[in-house]
Structure 1
Amino acid sequence: MQQHHYSFPMLKPSEIVTCMSDLHIHVSLEDLERPTPSRMAAVFDAFTSTFMGVSRDSCAVPSFHVVDMLEHPDLHQDDVALMAFYRQLFKLVTEVGIHDFSIRDLIKPEPGHVRKILSAIINFAKFREERVSVFEQCNKNSAEHVQKKAFLEEKNQEIAETVNTIRSYEPSSTLQRAEEEPAYQRVRERNLAQTAELRELKRIQTALTSDIENLKKTKTDAVEKMNNTNFLLSNTKQDCVRLRSRIVPNPAKLQQALVDMTNSISSEKTNLTVRERQYRDLLTRMEAIAVVQQDITTCTKLMEECEFEMKKSSTAEKSLVHERENIERKNQELREVNIKEQQLKRQLANISDKITRLTKQQTAKKEANDLKMSELAAAYEAGVTERDLNQAKIDSNQAVLAELEEKIVVTKKNVESEIARFLDCYSKLKTRGDRYCAELARMMSS
């Protein structure tokens, strides 16, 4: 089988996580660094469901002819489901440009190869998103042409039946043939028009198929060219950055700058000597200032302590006034609490009476609920029995459904063979009709 090799960029792990998030598939950096079979199976399942419409659960139901070939099908059910899912996944990764995919990528995935596979599938997803509108339009046009073809085939069948009716009818005289000649001509013209229309539709379908193939080829060339261009552009940018650091715009200016820097260094040395002398003078002054500053700091601390004691005294006076107000307020609250206590005692007595009445009502309700629970338990047992019967019916219906599916496949093949046979008969009948018309025309002319 011919293999198509596509070039795609190898994405960084952070880029893969971002792109997978855009596809609504959760993948973390830990999954890429240490991939596990279960996690990668879930990711690949999301890919096949999105791009192929096939999930791993649908592959878990094996074909009946495969099950019949196994000696112990129950022991191999998981293996058969895994191989069915692998077969679907292999189609996807092969189409996106990965030709070294194997069952090992599902059983024991490796970080480097997983990153390569995900990069290829993400590249395909981006291209698919760009071209999905063109595909949908072509698919819509194809569906319309198929529907029109079916309508024309139905009309063609009606015409064929009319021709058969005409052939089965033998005119008894030349006068009857002359009377039926206009109707025959109209039917013949209608048949020719329908045939021309069918040929035109066939030509349009062929042209559309050719356009689709050309678009696919153009897409492949464009993607490969784009990837190569991006690779060359990246290398060129790196070369430009590396060479730009080595370029000397103007050697004369560079020499002049070196001379100026030499003169500047000499001047800076002179200034440094002067600055050192000034530094020693300033250091002597700073020592004297430090002594004065220490005395000022001591005085400042004493002033701050005095201010703190004054503030503390003022705060104590305010706190004393506030506490007196709190004592008066607490006494008022105490009087209110005593009043509320008397009210609550009366309410407690009323509540005790209510509790007694509610206890009696609860006992009666509990007895009624126990009776109802026993009735519900009996109904539940009956429901369980009915569910088991229904489950048996469901299993029986599933077996019948499987048998019907096999019959549908056989019937479909028979219908296709019947259609081919009918088309062959139609071709032969059409040839005989043309001969009959020619003979009829020759006899009428004679």
Structure 2
Amino acid sequence: MSENTFPVYTADAIVNFYRTEVLTGQEAKHFTKSDLTPAPKPESVQTLYMRVLHLLYRFRPECHSMVPLLENIQYPVYHEGATTILSVYVRMRQFLPMCLVYDFSLNDLLAPKKQRTLTVLSAIMNFLHFRKQRMDMTLEKQAKFRADLDRLQIYNKGTLEAEKKIEMLTTIPPEQQAEADELVAALSELQATTAHEYQDVNAKNDSIAEWKTRIAEKTQKLAQVKVDVSNLKEDIGKLKSQIVESPEELKSQMEKMRENVKNIKTSIEGTDGCVVELQGMVQNVTHTEAEIQQMFNLLQDLESSMNNTKQRQEEHHELTAQYEKKQKELKNLCIEEGQLKRAQAMKLDKESKQNIRRQKKKEMKEQHVQEVLGQCNQIHQKREEMADKIQEISRETQQLKAKIQSLRDVCSKETEKAQALYDTLSTSMDELHWRIETHTADLKRDVTKMSANF
């Protein structure tokens, strides 16, 4: 006990704990700190131990005083006082090793000491705290187990509903089967037409790009021709200022200039025709671009519908994956349920066997109790006889006490009278002694006078 593995509490903490957790009713009200300190009372310590045993093992305090009448014992009444203490001692010796107290002795019940009782009660208090904590943990585990069972039922319902939804999603009703086939055929046709249109659009885009390159080349050539014409006009102006005008040369130059103008007009007319053709091509291209935009919108709608179908397929795949997971969880839960059922069946078998044994033990105990009750009745009869004898003896003792009291009263009166007589005698003796002394003094005086006269 020198090195404890549990804390030793103060007397106030121990009193508060045992008043709230162990004792009930009037016992809790009357239990105070003075029962433990400075000198513990054996009765209060014994009642504490009895209440602890009743709390833990349901062993009532009245059962400690029952004498085991397996043998014929003379005067079993005299054994009842010792049986309670011995029963508490035996059961505390069996219980306290669980509280890590191994040296409990009979002296701790009959003449308890302060520090010793405080350590034992602290050990029991520590064990009760541990027991309460473990009971709370077991209750939490039971609640979790019940919640898991409820969750399993909810999961089973959810899996059944998911299976129904998957069946509803996967199975196409016969009324909509024809529409689904038509939609699939229309989708395939649209895909083929869109591919063909894409090819036409790509070809037209290539042709448009070629025409744009040609137009750019022609525009470059026109710009070059305009630059050349401006340069020629400047050269003509310079030549007019420098060269003397001759009619023949002027005619030849004018003809050349007319031919050049004709060539330029023909080239301009050709370029205008090309521009007109290009404008028509551009209009056609814009018209085709509008048609392509419409097709592109249709394709976007198709893509959105395809995306919706893909999303539905992904949802279907997710639901199938969830369904597989739920099935796996269901299998695991079914396995656990089977294990739990087996364990429960084993427990039920054990409980049934234990119930049969308990029933047999009960029958044996009832027989034993009936025998004990018969013996108890005999003992009660003997007890009543002894109680009658004790009552007679108590009456005689009371009568003797009354006689003794009356004699004491008489004696007290006689002693008072004797004391009064003694007081009177003592006063009279004092007076006699005084008189004798005075008389002797007078005689001495007379003798002295007589001797003087003689």
Q: Structures share a fold, TM > 0.5?
A: no
User: Normalized against structure 1, the TM-score is what?
Assistant: 0.30
TM-score normalised per structure 2 = 0.29
Which is higher, the Rg of structure 1 or of structure 2?
2
